[in-house]
Each structure stands twice: as C-alpha cells, then as structure tokens.
Amino acid sequence: MLAFRAAAAASVLACAACSGTVAAPDPSAPAGPAEPAPEVQAILAKMRDRYRNARSYSDEGTFRDVSNPGESEKESITTGRFRTRWRAPDRLRFDVRIEHDSFFPPETLAVWTPRVGVTKSLFLGRVDEETSLSGRPLRSLQGVSHGLTGIVPLWLVEGGCRCASTYELRGTSACGSTTCFELVATLRQDDRVTLFVDTATGGLRKYFRSRLTPQPIAPEEFQFLPSAAHERFAARSLEPFDVEETIDIAPVFDVPVEESAFAYEPPSK
C-alpha cells in the first residue's frame, strides 16, 4: 500500500511550492530573467506569511480523488476527512481518515505531539515515536494521504510555502461564505494545479489538481492487494490514467487551542 499511495508524494511536494507568473519579454531586448507579476507575488507572500506567523491554527477538511473520471468501468473514487490543530512553535495534531477507497480498506493516519518534546506518528497501522515534527513523519504521511492533505501542517512546522512553481491569477471565485483568488499552475503537460486562497486571510481553502499519471504502476507494487481487487487494479495500471484531486479546507487562525486538543488515541484495529 505504501508504494502505491506514496507514488503521489514527489509530485505533491513539487506542486506545494509556488511562485509568480512572468511578464512576456520584449523581443528586441536582450534575454534576461523574467519579472514576476506583482499581484501574484503579493498573494503568495501573504499566504506564506499567514502560515509562518500563525500563533495557532485549526482546520477541518475533506478530500476526494477520482481516477479515470467519467469512465464507468474504470472510475475509482477515494474519499476521506482530516483535521489539524496547531500551537506555535511545535505542538500539532494532524489526523486523516480514509473513509472509502476502491482498492484499500478504510484507514487512519496521524502525527501528534502528546506533550512538549514528544512526537508520535500512526503510519500504516503502527505507532512510532519520532525525533521531531519536521522531516519524515509529515512527509511520509503526505505520501499516503492523497494530495495536499499534509501540506498545511508542513507549512506550519517549516515556516510557510516553499515557492518554486509558476502560478497565474485566473480571477476570484466564491469559497463558501468568503472569496478566493484562483492561482493556476501547469506543473507539466497534462498536470495542472489550482490553489484557492482566501482574499481576506491568505489561508488556503481549496486545492484542485487534474493530471495524467506519468507512468504505469509496476505489477510488483500491487501484489499486496486483496485477490478480489488484484485483476481490476492490474488492468487499470497497464497505462497512464487521469486523476482529479479535490481538497476542501476550513482554516481558522489565531484562536486559542487547548492542551486537550493535542491528545490522540489511535483507533483500535
């Protein structure tokens, strides 16, 4: 299961980094570095600073991944929920419940700090004590929890968005009771990401990604599947397939988070 779900991790981490659009160069001018569009840079800077400077943070969110959308015989859907509790500089509880998956049973994953200086993770059914919040526990969790569900905790722990990709401002749209900027980036051919950033707070409220998987999944990577699902999964994995990922987040900044919020009891098997 780790191999299949972790396949998304490298591309997810790449899309989490962001930068501005570039102005078209003057054909008569010497080639040189492009200047970023200031409005996009300002939006991204506000988003980065919002997470970097958060004294506390809470959210509730959902995700929905659809492989081969619209193809009745091939379509598969994964859905789940997650929640985050954070108090600067190093208290966190982040847990993910994968509620439905076409190939895997329901599962819970988590990273939490039950007390100052102690970090634990629930990963693939096993609880481990970690050396710190940054690094392996959150990045490993992100790889198996579908898209950006783990990126906000990384921003909180590591000081905001790591900017790398080129985004364009497509406009604004409604995000529940608020309004969001739509920032769009094409990571590769057939791979596009849209970030929905709250115009008032700079918080990330929605993430959408539409992509074609770059390569088939090797047969040895799904031998762990139940026999009933093996043939169907193997047939789907013979060639690249379309994936749509949608994540909705309800962020709350700088509202006190009680100590009890960081307690977490892994579910019994």
Confidence of residue 200 (pLDDT cuts 50, 70, 90): very high
Residue 30 within any structural domain of the chain: no
Burial of 259 (0-12, 13-18, 19+ CB in 10 A): exposed
Which residues on neighbouring strands pair with residue 250, listed in sequence order?
60
CB atoms within 10 A of CB 170: 11
27 assigned to some structural domain:
no
In a domain, 54, yes or no: yes
Q: What residues are paired with 252 via a beta bridge?
A: 58
Q: Which residue bears the tokens 């991204």?
A: 44
- For the stretch 163-193, pLDDT in tens is 667 899 999 999 989 999 999 998 877 888 8
Place of tokens 């379309």: 242
pLDDT score at 87: 97
**CATH number, domain with residue 40:** 2.50.20
Judge whether 147 and 194 are in contact, CB under 8 Å. Answer: no
CB of 138 within 8 A of CB of 149? no
Give the range of the structural domain holding residue 258, as residue numbers without chain letter: 2-20+36-262
Burial class of residue 200 in the structure, from the number of CB atoms within 10 Å of its CB (0-12 exposed, 13-18 middle, 19+ buried): exposed
Q: Kindly report, residue by residue over 33-84, the tens digit of the pLDDT.
A: 555 555 999 999 999 999 999 999 999 999 998 887 767 667 788 899 999 9
Please determine, for residue 89, whether its predicted confidence score (pLDDT) is greater than 90: yes
- 90 and 112 in contact (C-beta within 8 Å)? no
CA 9 – CA 265 distance, rounded (Å): 26
Domains contained in the chain, number = 1
- Is position 26 within any domain? no
In contact, 225 and 233? CB cutoff 8 Å: yes
Give the separation between CA 20 and CA 183, rounded to whole angstroms.
Answer: 9
- Residue 2 pLDDT greater than 50, yes or no: no
Distance of CA 215 to the CA centre of its chain: 21
Whether 28 is covered by a domain: the verdict is no
Residue 25 lies in a domain: no
Q: Does residue 109 have a pLDDT over 60?
A: yes
Whether residue 114 is contained in a domain is answered as yes
Of the candidates 256, 266, 246, 264, the residue with the CA atom closest to the CA atom of residue 88: 256
Q: How far apart are the first and last CA of the chain?
A: 17
Place of tokens 């699902």: 229
Three-state DSSP state, 93: strand
C-alpha to C-alpha distance for 254 and 256, rounded to whole angstroms: 6
> Minimum mean pLDDT among 122-126, 159-163, 179-183, 221-225: which range?
221-225
The single-letter code of the amino acid at 233 is: F
